[in-house]
Amino acid sequence: MSNGFDFDRVIERRNTDSLKWHKYEGRDVIPLWVADMDFQAPQAILEALHRRVEHGVFGYAVPPEELTQVLVERMAEKYRWVIKPSWIVWLPGVVSALNVVCRAFGDDGDEVLTFRPIYPPFLSAPPLSRRSVKTIPLGRKGGSYVMDADRFEQEITARSRILLLCNPHNPVGRRFERRELERIAEVCLAHDIILCSDEIHCDLVLDGGPHTPAATLGPEISARTITLMAPSKTFNIPGLSCSFAIIENPDLRRRFNKTHSGIVPWINALGYAACLAAYRDCEPWRQALIDYLRGNEQLAYRFINEEIPGLAMDHVQATYLAWIDTRPLGLANPERFFELGGVGLSDGKDFLAEGFVRLNFGCPRATLLVGLERIKHAVANLRTT
């Protein structure tokens, strides 16, 4: 129990249409891969969905006025970010938004830049839009990953149009500091680069520090920024497909809307109902979740670094995703190796980082412990063979 919410409860997800669990159907593999938590959604969301279902009519939906107002108030309260309702563009998911951004700005063959390792849709969206993708490696400083603004600027060419930024960062778990973001913003402004900032994990900060939306750095960068957010990761409702972009600049917003019109589907009524309940009624649940995830992160950090020689992970500042370095073990296929050991992890090569794996610790602690013990056992067996 965490502040009255039972995150220790193990919910059976096998045979429930779960992508996460279906991947290993019929096998003794604990899935700790895709960013989908094993916790039940907050009660307030469940009740809102029940009320909407009981109405019984599921026609095309528009965003409730109350939801828009709640979102405006939320941005002001959490980030001192004063936005207008007209800046909000509703979308079924952040991944579709990444693709819309790549198609909306620039021409065929233009460049989209991003920092690696990175969430795979950042790599697939540009070529799907007939753009090229250029990746800049994250650096290491003080035991954590950092963005190299100088290297970023050096990589910009006359064909560079967009920077896809992930903050908080998936997969490395960084919550970028304001000073880091300001330097990146300076480069974008100097080279006329549109900044698309995926901030879907902004409500999952574990280290107690502030999340800084890129658009709050100043009026100049706000006019060049498209911010992507959603309740999906935080409140474990990704299957309800409700996300949004915040775009101040009317020209950018017009081009974005024109590009997704007729291609990207509307939000469904249940998605809007869940989103409103999440942002209006579920802050106590979110705070309890953060406490629980913080405990899971500390457990994973200690276990990986102290009990499994050959593996290493940084502290996770935000998200519920641990980024684990397996390179000292010399594994040819880390994902397959741990899968054979009974744990399903995400392969770092999909993030452009071979030799790494990503572990989702958004699950009951008992499940996490079993997964960690299996990882330990697999590595121990490797060292004895």
pLDDT tens readout for residues 190-224: 999 999 999 999 999 999 999 999 999 999 999 99
Which parts of the chain register pLDDT below 50? none
Q: Which residues pair with 5 in a beta bridge?
A: 2
- Predicted pLDDT of residue 383: 72
Residue 205 half-sphere exposure toward CB, CA atoms < 13 A = 16
Q: What is the CATH number of domain 57-281?
A: 3.40.640.10
Burial class (CB within 10 angstroms; exposed 0-12, middle 13-18, buried 19+) of 80: exposed
238 token code pair: 């990704």
377 token code pair: 């056992």
Show me where the domains of the chain are located: 19-43+283-384, 57-281
Task: Please state, in angstroms and rounded to a whole number, the distance separating the CA atoms of residues 184 and 178.
Answer: 10
Q: Residues 19-43+283-384: name the CATH superfamily.
A: Aspartate Aminotransferase, domain 1 (3.90.1150.10)
CA-based nearest residue to 125, from 137, 136, 139, 114: 114
Task: Please state, in angstroms and rounded to a whole number, the distance separating the CA atoms of residues 198 and 227.
Answer: 6
Asked if 19-43+283-384 and 57-281 have one fold, the answer is no
Cα distances from 119 to residues 50, 152, 153, 236, 353, in angstroms, run: 33, 18, 22, 18, 11
- Predicted pLDDT of residue 2: 60
**Can you give the pTM of this predicted structure?**
0.97
- Predicted pLDDT of residue 4: 78
CA-based nearest residue to 318, from 216, 172, 213: 172
Instruction: Give the containing element (helix H, strand E) for 226.
Output: strand 225-229
Cα distances from 328 to residues 242, 336, 353, in angstroms, run: 41, 16, 14
120 token code pair: 């795979």
